[in-house]
Each structure stands twice: as structure tokens, then as C-alpha cells.
Amino acid sequence: MSLADLIQLGASLVAVLFVAWLVGKLGLGADPRIADDAHAIRLAEEAEAGFGGTEVARDRAGFAAIVQNAEGRMMLVRAHGNHFAARPVDRQVIARLDKDFLTLTPPERTFGAATLNLGKEAGVWAARMRNLAHG
């Protein structure tokens, strides 16, 4: 291996390490999760000032949550890229229950559907969705 080859190899290694450091510094490739109920409530509050969440159904993996306030209004919070996004849950949101999973599909196509593994609580929250739809 010649000196030029070694210099090129060293420069390539430095470039790769720099890109890896930059990706980490910018938070790219992060795996955002909703850590707990308080985190879900804070995210809903960031989406709508004064929302005041009181109850949370958090996906077991932490990718999404439904936050309900004292008035009975609900907000769906989910991981969206490296960040979180939230949308109100209203009559236009389609809710589908499948055993321990509740899938919510908002009318906004770009937001996409969110499937939450809620365990035995999935049926309880699905019933709340039905009441919301008829209320």
C-alpha cells in the first residue's frame, strides 16, 4: 500500500467519523418515544395550549398515546419522524379495535394512522371513541 493510499484511507476514515458525529449531534436517526404519561400530557399541551390532559393511554412501545382532558376531548400524539405530532380526536377519526390494539386513522392523510398496543385497555378506549362519535 502506497503512502497516497494510506492518506486516502485516513481521510476517508476521518470523513466517515465526522458524518457519524454530525448525525448524532443533529439527532438524526433518533428513535423518539413517549416516556410516560406526563410526557404525553406535555406533548398534547404543546400542540394545543390549555388542553390540560388528565388521562393517558400510552402505546406499550411508546410510539403514540391518546390524551384525554377533563372535558372529555382527546388528542392523539405520535412519533412523526424525529419529533412528535398531535391531532385532535374527533368524529372524523376512524377507530378500529383488534384485540389489544386500537388503530386511529385521522382524516389528514399525511398524518397517517397510528396503531396503539394498549393491552386490555384497548376496549375501554375504543368505547370512549364510540361515545365521542355519538356525543
**Does residue 112 or residue 43 have the better pLDDT?**
43
- Looking at residue 28, its pLDDT comes to 63
**Does residue 49 or residue 130 have the better pLDDT?**
49
Average pLDDT of the segment spanning 43-71: 95
How far is residue 92's CA from residue 129's CA, in Å, rounded to a whole number? Answer: 11
**Does residue 18 or residue 64 have the better pLDDT?**
64
How far is residue 49's CA from residue 57's CA, in Å, rounded to a whole number? Answer: 20
Q: Which tens digits make up the pLDDT trace of 15-47?
A: 777 777 776 666 666 678 999 999 999 999 999
Pick left, alpha or beta for residue 81 (phi over 0 → left; psi -120 to 50 → alpha; otherwise beta): left
Class of domain 37-134: mainly beta
